[in-house]
Structure 1
Amino acid sequence: MRIKWFSFIRIAGLLSVLTYHFFQNSYPGGFIGVDIFFTFSGFLITALMIDEFAKTRQFKLVKFYQRRFNRIVPPLLLAILVVLPFTYLVSPDYVTGIGKQIAAAMGFTTNYFEIATGGSYESKFIPHLFVHTWSLAVEVHFYILWGLIIAGLVQWMHKSNSNQKEMVVSFRSMIAFISLVFAAVSVILMGLRSFNLTDYSAVYFSSLTHCFPFFIGALTASFTGITMVPKRFQQTLNQARLMPTVISLVLAFVFLAMLGFVMHFDSQKTYLGGILIASLVTAFAIVKARTLHNLTPNMIEPKCATFIADISYSMYLYHWPLFVIFSQRMNTISAVIMTIVIGVPFSALSYYIIEPLLAGKQPRDIKKTTLLKPIKLGLAAGGLLLLIIAATVIKTAPGLTQLDQKLWISSLYQARDNMTTSKTVIQADVKQQQAAKDKHKQAVTIPKGVSIIGDSVTAGTREYLQQNVADSTVDAAGERTMQLAYDVMMRAQANHLLRENVVLSIGTNALPGSNEQLEKLINDLKPGHRLILVTPYDGRADATWNSFKLAQFERTLPKKYNFITIADWQKMAQKHPEVFAGTDGVHFAGRHEGDVIYAQTVNEGLKQGAKTPVKK
């Protein structure tokens, strides 16, 4: 039994996700489209389970898993095979470690793979092409767990002495109770784990913290249903009126659309209730759509809506990797058009032709059985060709991106320099000990030149900086916070290796309290030094971000301290958006033009700093 108007639930989820990925800056909260899908899936699967039990008093777990496999795996495999040939259009960086990505996708562990590798839609220098299959992993985890729970519940129900009618009522009640408990635990876990974070990806990706929309959908199904509905809901259906139901459903969709404008991936409010609200509103929309089905017995759902709903899963699989690829070759609008032009036909082919054939059924759109053999041969030949291309892409894929290579090489050079520094420190200690023995302690002089202390942005351009910033040393590392930079500076200062001009390029990983830590660094910097602060830049940041606040704070310091100068990388970077095209908005490693303007910014800061006195 197909419920009319449910297609619009799927369409709402698909449009929300697509708009988010295509126009993230304009629609920052569209990721709730995934939660619309999750809630609807939880409802649909549970409602079908209840229908099966109500009719047969059974639940066939193996058949359930088989249906889920047939619906999920073939489109996923086809999407991977279709996408990989397009990777030849972009830099090899985009297929770095692609074999691991595919293994995670096909093994339904992408969410934990991304947690382990630091993945995110919003913060990867080179986005993983199959990062979006994290949601598929969470969904499959739910199916496995929920199937086992329902199978166990059915077995337990059979041991009771209830009559058939009482069994169904008890079955619904137990599903409602279990769903409520699981949803509550997941919501609480998401809220608790969201505290003291700057990157919420791990909370967002985790099956434990992000499974509650499924159970909200399951809870909704226990009170409503598809074919078999409880008495109370049937009374609600009988009392419902057309216009109030339509208005309520439209308002629910409007509310979900508005959430997409106000929610943000990097806001704690999203994880303290934002996603929960989206799921609850979706559940409300599901109930209203189910009600509208009963109120419109003579109406037919628009065919275009049915078509979009049918291909929504496959289109979800295609849209992200295709858009990532095409957006590197053309402007956003053109990339969106190409994604749709390619994604829609392949999604339709998958749903209407390939999936039925693999399930042993005849596609309903192929009337002549004589066409089946040539179609199967054509699909087999095409599949073999795609498989060969996929194997080639996987085999030739690089192990590291250009950014990773730069950072790795930078770390090797820094290790070498640290060894040289250690040797210098030992030699200095020997000289000081000798001087002490001779009772002729010499006043320690501050070395001339530039000491640059930075994070991963600086590490990515380390070699160029040392060649183009006169008489400089660079100490840079990824994930470096202000506190870690303070430790580096204090260690160099204690060993008399901190040079006269100290360039501090820290802030990309700014945490709450960075302003206070910077003040401490300034106070503990010994006399005889100048401090040049390179403001942090993050193309995704707004006024609420710690890095943005730190840059504003740094600009106020030269008025307070005459030995401080600002090298405004934030403003300089904003003038050169081309340097960050296709990146995470922070790093530019591997792009010579980025090296050039970054070094220019540092040199300009040093030039201005030379006009100021040293710390007294």
Structure 2
Amino acid sequence: MSVRPLTPAGPRVTHRGARFGGLDGLRAIAVGLVLVYHLFPTVLPGGFLGVDVFFVMSGFLITSLLLRELERTGRIDLLGFWRRRARRLLPAVALVVLVSTSLALAAGRDLLVGVAQQIAGAVFFVSNWVFIANGTDYFARDTPELFRNFWSLALEEQFYIVLPLLAILVFRFRSRLTWALPLIALGVGSAFLMASLANAGADPTRVYFGSDSHSFGLFLGAAMAVALSRQAARALTAVGQAVSLTVAALGFGVLGYLALTLQEGSRASFVGGFQLATLAGLAVVWAITREGAIAGRWLDAQPLRWIGERSYGIYLWHWPLLLIVTSIASGLGLGASPLVAAVTLALTVAFAALSYRYVEQPVRRIGLRGAFARWFSPRSYTQRRKRISIALALVVAITFPLTGVAVAIAPERTSSAEVILRGQQQLEADRDGAASGADPAEPGDPGAAAAERPAPRFAVQGGDITAVGDSVMLASYPELTEALPGIEVDAAVSRGLWAGVEILADMAARGALRDIVVVGLGTNGPVDAEALDELLRIVDGRKLVLVDAHAERDWIPEVNAMLTAFAQAHRGVALAGWDAAVAGTPEFLAEDGIHPGPEGGEVYAAAMRDAIESLFTPGEATGWAVPRR
């Protein structure tokens, strides 16, 4: 389907060469930001902004291609445009989905949760809305989806559907300003929507994934392409070169600063952060794509250009490979090893390079049917082509049925969700039983068997203990009630220390705190010294046990060191060494390496019981005025 504008004699659109200088180098930098963010998150906490740089480039480049087509032919061929986009995007998507799903089948079943929906979202380019509908948390690292990174590809493809339709409407007018205004309005509107949703307290994932709230980079990049179409090929003067270099340096400086300081999912990122990064990306794209711009030539250096040409594949491959390598390493007890990042990076570059050369480029140049003829036509076989054809045939023959198997046997929930659900169900059953006044020794009651067990080897009973914790404590609940019958547990998913302080303050105000307080809240974020001091004030002379954390997260070593130091500095405070107790036994944990199964729950309960017992050894005393000696 071709559409000819009503007035093709509008502003002259400058025809330039087949490529813009510097964009491949900028792609390399953008994908590098994303890789560092995922592989080394503490180095570049705001590296996710690399995606927004891609959005600006995509909007600018695709609109420039439409303008060239309009100048050359006087019309826009919609079907031809969408066919070229499909050739460019779909082959790599298909290969990544088939290979990654097959590898995930061997690596760990947790990676397959929801994989059918993810594949459908990837193929139909609606991944972002699938994740929003499923309540996915983009910034959570506990149960990441195998194809979570496809959200941005979906958003771009939706833009590629809308843009040419919008262009057909606006290109009917003569004024270039009239062409650009709708694009500017859509971009500014999207940026304001992101900020307003964040200010209204909307879910961060909804704000981040939404096509309506996160497409301003695409539309503003498109608007810049339209606005600058007349001046695109004008050679820069000496002053112009100086201005171009200055603007590029400022743009890169802003992006670097934001990548180093912006925090994921924060209000600051949505209210100003992404918007400022987009403006910086626009400045850089403007500066490097001017005809003869020195900054563009610098970015065309061969290593950067090589990476930039393969940046699409690098972006697609890196995330599923990171999850697969991490899963395998965790099973081997190497989850925190720097080898995970090194192996992921090596595999990502290798797979992206092979995909680019043998799949993406052939399909892009000669179409899918032409590529199939080249791959599998015996008449065209040379010895080298024969080896390539055999390799491709084997990849498809192996991964296609394995992907079907993976979809068929994908679990409904992750192993961590299963053990948390197990604890949650027993906790709710016990609460319901207590509310109904059921006799705890009644046959069939969960407390009956526990009550018949020998009492602990110290005088403390479960009825003396109030425990507040996160999902780790919740997963251990069945074993806690068995080891310490009558213990009162208040545990929930994704709870941090300050939330626990508020819960304990409310209990203390109601007179509901027991003589021993156990707090296990170090898994979900850094621990604040002020929160520990407030906790000490609330327990008010009661004995206190702090459970340390076990997880491959950046803040865990600091959390454990702070909890250890706090316990050593105060009498009446003890540390339950859950981290040391469970280390070296990954089989006691779910696949995420964090949440305990039944065996891990026993270890958790034993660590808690040992810490409580230590508070009743000779020489230990309650009271905060005298430091521990």
Structure 1 residue 364: Cα displacement:
13
Match of 1:353 in 2: 362
Question: What percentage of residue pairs aligned between the two structures are identical?
Answer: 24
Normalising by structure 2, report the TM-score: 0.74
Moved more, 374-383 or 73-82: 374-383
Which amino acid in 2 is paired with 1:449? D
CA contact (8 A) 2:49 2:259 kept: yes
SS in 1 for 2:437: helix
Look up the match of 2:466: 451
Counterpart contact for 1:453–1:489, Cα < 8 Å: no
CA distance 1:153–1:129, change in 2 (3 Å): same
- Kindly report the root-mean-square deviation, in angstroms, between the aligned alpha carbons of the 2 structures: 4.9
Provide Cα deviations, 1:435-488, integer angstroms capped at 9, x if missing partner. Answer: xxxxxxxxxxx9943233333221122223223446524343335577799679
Q: 1:142 to 1:121 in 2, by over 3 A?
A: same
Per-residue deviation, 1:326: 1.7
Which one of 95, 101, 108 corresponds to residue 84 of structure 1? Answer: 101
1:419 pairs, out of 413, 432, 442, with 432
1:263 positional shift: 2.5
Which one of 141, 147, 152 corresponds to residue 164 of structure 2?
147
Correspondence 1:388 to 2:401: yes
CA displacement, residues 375-400 of structure 1 (integer Å, 9 cap, x when unaligned)? 77874564243211110111122221
Contact 1:530–1:609, Cα closer than 8 Å, also in 2: no
Counterpart in 1 of 2:3? Answer: none
1:34 CA displacement: 0.6
Matches within 5 A, 1:175-190: 175-190=179-194
Query: Deviation per CA, 1:277-303, whole angstroms, max 9, x where unpaired?
Result: 222222222122222547799999555
Give 2:611's match in structure 1, choosing from 600, 604, 611: 604
CA drift of 1:55 comes to 3.8
Name the SS of the counterpart of 1:327 in structure 2.
helix
In the alignment, the residues of structure 2 paired with residue 486 and residue 184 of structure 1 have an alpha-carbon distance, to the nearest angstrom, of 40
Query: TM-score, normalised to structure 1's length?
Result: 0.76
Matched to 2:409, the amino acid is T
Deviation at 1:421, TM superposition (A): 0.7
The residue that corresponds to 1:465 in the other structure is 480
| Aligned-residue offset at 1:541 | 6.9
Q: Which residue is 2:226 aligned to?
A: 222
Determine if contact 2:574/2:614 at 8 Å carries over to the other structure: no
What amino acid maps onto 1:42 in structure 2? G
| Residues 1:329 and 2:328 are matched in the alignment | yes
Q: 1:329 & 1:586 partners in 2: Cα distance?
A: 11
Please say if residues 468 and 489 of structure 2, whose CA atoms lie closer than 8 Å, have aligned partners that are also in contact: yes
Deviation readout 1:540-580 (Å, 9 max, x if unpaired): 5769xxx98xx89x969x98xx9xx55557x9659988789
2:46–2:259 Cα contact (<8 Å) kept: yes
> Residues 520 and 546 of structure 2 are in contact (CA less than 8 Å); yes or no, is this contact kept in structure 1?
yes
Q: How far did residue 403 of structure 1 move? A: 0.8
Question: What residue number does 2:333 align with?
Answer: none
Deviation at 1:343, TM superposition (A): 3.3
- In 2: Cα distance, 1:614 partner to 1:512 partner: 23
Amino acid at match of 2:603: V
Paired position in structure 2 for 1:439: none
Aligned equivalents of 2:512, 2:438: Cα separation in 1:
8
**Contact 2:548–2:578 at 8 Å: present in 1 too?**
no
Amino acid at match of 2:345: V
- Partners in 2 of 1:58 and 1:397 — Cα distance? 48
Residue 47 of structure 1 and its aligned partner are, at CA, apart by 1.6
Task: Tell me the residue number matched to 1:101.
Answer: 118
Structure 1 residues 158-181: Cα deviation after superposition (integer angstroms, max 9, x where no partner): xxxxxxxxx2xx1x3123222222
**Structure 1 position 50, deviation (Å):** 2.4
Counterpart residue identity of residue 132, structure 2:
I
C-alpha separation in 1, matches of 2:113 and 2:432: 32
2:423 maps to 410
Q: Unaligned stretches of 5+ in structure 2?
A: 1-17, 330-338, 441-460, 625-629
Within 5 A, what are the aligned runs for 1:385-534? 385-424=398-437, 448-469=463-484, 471-479=486-494, 499-505=514-520, 532=545
The equivalent of 2:207 in structure 1 is: 203
Task: Please report how far the alpha carbon of residue 41 of structure 1 lies from its aligned counterpart in structure 2 after TM superposition.
Answer: 0.3
Question: In the TM superposition, what are the counterparts of 1:575-590 in structure 2 within 5 Å?
Answer: 587-590=594-597
Shift of residue 140 of structure 1?
Answer: 1.9
Contact 2:104 2:112 in 1 (8 A): yes
- Is contact 1:85-1:390 (8 Å) kept? yes
Report if the CA contact (8 A) 1:352-1:365 is conserved. Answer: no
Q: Which residue pairs with 2:288 in the alignment?
A: 289
Which stretch of structure 1 is more off in the superposition, 194-203 or 324-333? 194-203
The alpha-carbon distance between structure 1 residues 210 and 140, as it changes in their structure 2 partners (threshold 3 A), is same
Match of residue 54 from structure 1: 71
- Between the aligned partners of 1:447 and 1:592, the Cα distance in structure 2 is 20
Q: 1:339 aligns with which of 339, 348, 352?
A: 348
Once residues 280 and 192 of structure 1 are traced to their aligned partners in structure 2, the CA distance between those partners, rounded to angstroms, is 19
> Superposed, which structure 2 residues align to 1:247-286 within 5 Å?
249=248, 252-253=251-252, 255-286=254-285
User: Residue by residue, what CA displacement relative to the aligned partner does 1:306-364 show, whole Å, maximum 9, x if unpaired?
Assistant: 44333221221111111221233352223322332333212332222244454455699
Q: Deviations over 1:500-531 (max 9, x none)?
A: 434344576799999899979987x9x99766
Amino acid in structure 2 at the alignment position of 1:419: D
Q: Secondary structure at the match of 1:589?
A: coil
Q: Judging changes above 3 Å, is the alpha-carbon distance between structure 1 residues 316 and 296 closer, same or farther for their aligned structure 2 residues? A: closer
Tell me: CA distance 1:309–1:22, structure 2 relative to 1, closer, same or farther (3 Å): same
Distance 1:588 1:483, change over 3 A: closer
Which letter maps to 1:465? L
Q: Tell me the alpha carbon deviations over residues 188-234 of structure 1, each in whole angstroms, 9 at most, x when there is no partner.
A: 2222333486973332222222111112211221222xxxx31x555
Query: How far apart are the structure 2 equivalents of 1:241 and 1:532?
Result: 67
Structure 1 residues not aligned, in runs of 5+ = 158-166, 428-445
User: Hey, what's the Cα distance between the residues in 1 that align with 2:581 and 2:255?
Assistant: 35
Equivalent residue, structure 2, for 1:320? 319
Hey, what's the Cα distance between the residues in 1 that align with 2:257 and 2:507?
A: 51
